[in-house]
């Protein structure tokens, strides 16, 4: 398995992987649709990054970094194909993102999640993310926890 950067040919995999987990646990929200339907224009072209876990010719996982300040990015849209969960793909993606963020001299990563997602929260904590106060009136109604990692 390898971690590869965004390629327009992977845009549909980014959308499909994310819709799968969102629909499994929650409801698709307007910001999901906005980001997933045209990820190149709404993430890449706005200074963000998308990474993919690729096994042979299959995209089996993904995640994005979205600008949240000059040296702060938000980790989001992390997804792993259901039949590949439990194979540490999320951890490999996260490890890659942390290395990439340090190379880019970022100061901090933030993320928003939900306490219902125990496996994801376990991985974030394992990598050093800590819970911080969450803002009110967020764009995602499912977000009930905010975490950050100082790099």
User: 10-68 pLDDT, tens per residue?
Assistant: 999 999 999 999 999 999 999 999 999 999 999 999 999 999 999 999 999 999 999 99
End-to-end CA distance of the chain: 26
pTM to 2 decimals? Answer: 0.96
Q: Is the dihedral of CA 109, 118, 64, 128 positive or negative?
A: positive
Segment 61-92, tens digit of pLDDT: 999 999 999 999 999 999 999 999 999 999 99
pLDDT at 42: 96
Report the 10 Å Cβ neighbour count for 40.
16
Residue ranges of E strands in 13-123: 49-55, 58-67, 72-80, 108-113
Q: pLDDT grade, residue 106 (50/70/90)? A: very high
User: Which residue(s) pair with 145 in the sheet?
Assistant: 113
Backbone angles phi, psi at 136, to 5 degrees: -90, 160
Length reported for the chain: 151
Mean pLDDT of 117-123: 94
pLDDT at 78: 96
3-state secondary structure of 54: strand
pLDDT averaged over the chain? Answer: 96
- Name every residue whose Cβ is closer than 8 Å to that of residue 43 and which is 6 or more positions away in sequence: 35, 49, 50, 64, 66
**Which of 25, 43, 54, 12 has the alpha carbon at shortest distance from 113?**
25
pLDDT at 20: 96
């Amino acid at each position: 398995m390898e971690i590869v950067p965004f390629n327009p040919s992977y845009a549909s995999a980014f959308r499909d992987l994310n819709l799968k987990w969102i629909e499994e646990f929650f409801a698709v929200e307007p910001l999901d649709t906005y980001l997933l339907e045209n990820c190149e224009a709404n993430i890449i072209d706005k200074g963000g990054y998308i990474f993919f876990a690729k096994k042979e010719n299959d995209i089996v996982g993904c995640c994005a970094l979205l600008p949240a300040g000059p040296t702060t990015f938000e980790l989001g849209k992390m997804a792993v194909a259901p039949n590949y969960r439990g194979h540490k793909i999320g951890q490999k993606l996260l490890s890659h993102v942390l290395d990439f963020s340090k190379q880019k001299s970022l100061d901090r990563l933030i993320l928003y999640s939900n306490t219902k997602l125990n496996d994801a929260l376990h991985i974030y904590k394992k990598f050093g993310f800590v819970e911080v106060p969450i803002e009110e009136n967020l764009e995602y109604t499912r977000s009930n926890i905010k975490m950050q990692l100082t790099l």
